[in-house]
């Protein structure tokens, strides 16, 4: 059978060749890519409240990462102390992260009134 052709099995079903399967995957990927781009392109901008909530979530995540790094450092030090050979230096001390402080929301800047154009100077006499 020539490449790219479909073969029919005894049950009457067609077996797709590798080339056909790859083409279907590419078409599905392109469709999903265009659909997701269109969905993101039509999203409205965040409201100030939503932006503040997103900033708070980002700050909490960053703080959680710092706490996790501190806990990992402590666990590594416990393991290093357990297997430490005499005469080797002690593991580095871990620094505890400061308590969580939520980010301060910036005060919205009020739009200023348009500045009146400066009056033109009187034409100079010749």
**Per-residue confidence at 7, pLDDT binned at 50, 70, 90?**
low
Same domain, 54 and 73: yes
- Mean pLDDT of all residues in 58-82: 95
- Mean pLDDT of all residues in 67-87: 93
In a domain, 7, yes or no: no
Q: Is the pLDDT of residue 113 over 70?
A: no
In a domain, 107, yes or no: no
Count of the separate structural domains present in the chain: 2
Q: Can you spell out the DSSP letters for the chain?
A: --TT--EE-TTSPEEPPHHHHHHHHHHHHHHHHHHHHHHHHTPPPPPHHHHHHHHHHHHHHHHHHHHHHHHHHHHHHHHHHHTPPTTSPPPPPPPPPPPP-PPPPPPPPPPPPPPPPPPPPPPPP-
Domain range enclosing 20: 16-45
In a domain, 118, yes or no: no
Q: What is the pTM of this model?
A: 0.50
């Amino acid at each position: 059978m020539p490449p790219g052709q479909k073969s029919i099995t005894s049950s009457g079903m067609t077996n797709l060749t590798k080339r056909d399967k790859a083409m279907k995957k590419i078409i599905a990927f392109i469709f999903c890519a265009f659909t997701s781009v269109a969905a993101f392109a039509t999203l409205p901008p965040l409201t100030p409240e939503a932006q503040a909530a997103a900033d708070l979530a980002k700050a909490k995540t960053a703080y959680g990462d710092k706490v996790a790094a501190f806990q990992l450092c402590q666990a590594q030090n416990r393991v290093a102390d357990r297997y430490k050979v005499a005469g080797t230096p002690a593991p580095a001390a871990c620094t505890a992260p400061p308590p969580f402080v939520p980010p301060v929301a910036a005060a919205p800047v009020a739009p200023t009134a348009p500045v009146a154009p400066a009056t033109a100077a009187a034409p100079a006499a010749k």
